[in-house]
Structure 1
Amino acid sequence: MSTLISKVPPSAQRATLRTLFALPKIARRRIAGRPVRIDGLELDLDAQLLLKMQKLTDRDLASGTPEEARAALEESRSLLPGDPIEPVAVRDLQVPGGAGPRDARLYTPDGLAEGSGLLVYFHGGGWVIGSLDTHDNLCRLLAVEAGVRVLSVDYRLAPEHPFPAAPADALAAFRYATTNSDELGVDASRIAVGGDSAGGNLAAVTSYQAARGGGPLPAFQLLIYPAVDGTVRRRSRELFGDGFFLTDADMTWFLDQYAAAPGDVSDPRLSPLLGDLSGMPPAYLATAGFDPLRDEGEAFAKKLAEAGVPVVARRFDSLIHGYANLFPVIPAGRAAVLDAASALRTGLQLRPRTTTHYDLFRPTT
């Protein structure tokens, strides 16, 4: 953080944010400034206010070394107001990875019976940052609102473990869930994969590997603003690559850490948009209007539909990348997460369908 902000104790920063976002709308608007309108969309007021607060720091998502960026994300997590979502039972465990055991965390909502559905969740963070802790409250919210158990997986991170370490860990974790469903208290036929950003990429890649390699297939994909193509710069990256939380520079830095060998970016296990998507499980795919990843996510939803995969696409016009983690201060972000949870609940209750539903819906959020 900047010299001034770094002198303020985290508890005081947290209290300031709580006070700031509790102000009347007219006061928040005065602080945030005039509405931001790009590409026919208007930025959510609370997202705009949060971005203005971010400008008071000297830190981007990908600032400094990987170790420094990880520490910064962990620190920022503690600044968000609000208590952990309850009542949820949390159990730490280990699951197999591509090269040895990986830490994981199982979330069980209070009163949930044995034999529930399960979401195997992969956190975002550009394959370089993020952890079980940074996505703890998001996993709690999804578990409670979807009425499922959530298994959050701490896959290996780049650059220490570049591609394809993370996809190997993700697939191993999903296969563990399918073969240990009784131990986890879940129905083996109702195991979904999901994630946000890079985690959404790993969820899609896990489904791709399962579909192409045989064996159990996820029952559902929950993809929240996923990264799905590292080979093309689309229009949304040009429009929203600066000033909207995830930047163009961040995206370049993350991919440089992750894709170590020539040709990695064109591998469907990194860029699933380039692969054969037939036979993939039904999907919910959410994008944010002010996100540089928006257009590739929507291209992926369209290609899924063209491959005959049941898919529901949602664009939340007014939101930014990262809204799923920012739900404590962005009410529209919380509503978007609840939409995802509802889709997950429904997707795990329905039998597989043979018809395709492609609906690019733009809620007024």
Structure 2
Amino acid sequence: MSALDAEFAALLDAQAEAAKAQPLPPLDALPPEMVRAGYRLQRQAQDQNAPKDVETRDLTVADTIPARLYRPAGLGDPSGLLVYFHGGGFVIGDLETHDGHCRRLAKDGACRVLAIDYRLAPEHPFPASHDDALAATKWAFDNASDLGVDPRRIAVGGDSAGGNLAASVALDLKDDTRRKIAFQLLLYPGIWPDEETQSRKDLDGPVLTREALAWFEKLLAAVGHPHAQRAMLGSRDFKGAPPALVVTAGFDPLQDEGRDYAEALRAAGVAATLTHYPALVHDFYIMHDVSPAVAKAAAETAAALKRALS
């Protein structure tokens, strides 16, 4: 196993020392809104240097779903579009936690980005998040001309739980001849495989812990649902899915399922690229100021998006 990035190691050591002085209560003892607020403050503090030359507009899509449209300065019409779903275990995360990340994807990917503020569990258990993701993506296709978007160049993407949503939508629409997704950008996605992977067994953090994974799964309440395969993607039919970039991190319990998903896509004849950052942690894209390694990875990811939508 590679060594952890030095800047992230220093951050995690400092957080561990702080936790010794003031231990945090278990997640089950906290209301979700409190966890959301803490996550928002922490991630915004770790990403304060996002590009400013990106125009944003808050809007409502599919009648009820809040969203934010990003357009980099100088982008012509029509452009490509990335419909983006934030991470956070389907329970935390929002437009603000991922604002800097979406700005970079728009600017360096030379496309519009439509970030979706889908409903969160436990207030809205499964399949609310997946329903919102699918409805928002369909809306983007159906309103492409109003958005200044070329409907032949619409991608879906997301990180962690958002990667699950993007992959799920890509599979749901793969046979939709009117709404053909051009590309899927899956950043350390939670695939929810049928069998527990070795990395889930071996890694308890950093950043994404076993406690957090269990808390997210409990609150989402997808296990046992008659349509659970929309979230638990291991047994889906991948044939005909759009091309994909799957990104994994070495210090992340989700790394093996991301790798395995890329391999399953390839086995089904899908053009899938796997990019692995062995020294980085889960959630690194929205911790941009922590290490120069994040800027490098983010630029590489945006460049791949730009190529896919050119």
- Asked whether 1:89 is paired with 2:51, we answer no
Q: Do the aligned partners of residues 215 and 197 (structure 1) sit closer, same or farther apart at CA in structure 2, a change above 3 Å counting? A: same
Q: Do the aligned partners of residues 256 and 81 (structure 1) sit closer, same or farther apart at CA in structure 2, a change above 3 Å counting? A: closer
> Matched residue pairs, number?
305
Map of 1:80 onto structure 2:
46
Map of 1:294 onto structure 2:
255
Write the distance in 1 (CA, Å) between the matches of 2:93 and 2:118. 10
Q: Do the aligned partners of residues 275 and 73 (structure 1) sit closer, same or farther apart at CA in structure 2, a change above 3 Å counting? A: same
Write the distance in 2 (CA, Å) between the matches of 1:168 and 1:332. 35
Write the distance in 1 (CA, Å) between the matches of 2:3 and 2:223. 40
- Asked whether 1:320 is paired with 2:275, we answer no
Write the distance in 1 (CA, Å) between the matches of 2:253 and 2:228. 21
TM-score, L = length of structure 2 = 0.94
Write the distance in 1 (CA, Å) between the matches of 2:127 and 2:175. 16
Q: Do the aligned partners of residues 156 and 317 (structure 1) sit closer, same or farther apart at CA in structure 2, a change above 3 Å counting? A: same
Write the distance in 2 (CA, Å) between the matches of 1:118 and 1:165. 23
Which stretch of the first structure deviates more once superposed, 137-146 or 340-349? Answer: 340-349
Superposed, 1:197-212 pairs within 5 Å as 197-211=160-174
**SS of 2:60 mapped into structure 1:** strand
| Mapped contact 2:152–2:180 kept (Cα < 8 A) | no
Write the distance in 1 (CA, Å) between the matches of 2:110 and 2:65. 25
Map of 2:245 onto structure 1:
284
Q: What's the % identity of the aligned pairs? A: 43
| Mapped contact 1:61–1:73 kept (Cα < 8 A) | no
| Mapped contact 1:246–1:321 kept (Cα < 8 A) | yes
* Aligned residues: CA RMSD: 1.8
Letter matched to residue 70 of structure 1? R
Q: Which runs of 5+ in 1 are unaligned?
A: 1-39, 350-365
- Asked whether 1:259 is paired with 2:225, we answer no
- Deviation per CA, 1:328-349, whole angstroms, max 9, x where unpaired? 2121122112111111111112
**SS of 1:129 mapped into structure 2:** coil
Q: Do the aligned partners of residues 275 and 119 (structure 1) sit closer, same or farther apart at CA in structure 2, a change above 3 Å counting? A: same
Write the distance in 2 (CA, Å) between the matches of 1:122 and 1:224. 10
TM-score, L = length of structure 1 = 0.80
- 1:184 positional shift: 0.8
Map of 2:117 onto structure 1:
154
Which stretch of the first structure deviates more once superposed, 160-169 or 303-312? Answer: 160-169
Write the distance in 2 (CA, Å) between the matches of 1:257 and 1:291. 21
Map of 1:21 onto structure 2:
none
Map of 2:179 onto structure 1:
216
1:177 to 135, 140, 149: 140
- Deviation per CA, 1:342-365, whole angstroms, max 9, x where unpaired? 11111112xxxxxxxxxxxxxxxx
1:246 to 202, 208, 221: 208
| Mapped contact 2:50–2:101 kept (Cα < 8 A) | no
- 1:301 positional shift: 0.4
Letter matched to residue 255 of structure 2? R
Map of 1:6 onto structure 2:
none
Write the distance in 1 (CA, Å) between the matches of 2:212 and 2:138. 32
2:196 to 233, 256, 259: 233
- Deviation per CA, 1:231-290, whole angstroms, max 9, x where unpaired? 432111122213x110011101101111255246x8321011220011100000000011
- 1:47 positional shift: 1.3
Letter matched to residue 308 of structure 2? G
By relative contact order (CA 8 Å, sep 6+), the higher-ranking structure is: 2
Q: Which runs of 5+ in 2 are unaligned?
A: none
| Mapped contact 2:47–2:286 kept (Cα < 8 A) | no
- 1:59 positional shift: 4.5
Q: Do the aligned partners of residues 41 and 61 (structure 1) sit closer, same or farther apart at CA in structure 2, a change above 3 Å counting? A: farther
Structure whose CA Rg is larger: 1
2:9 to 48, 52, 66: 48
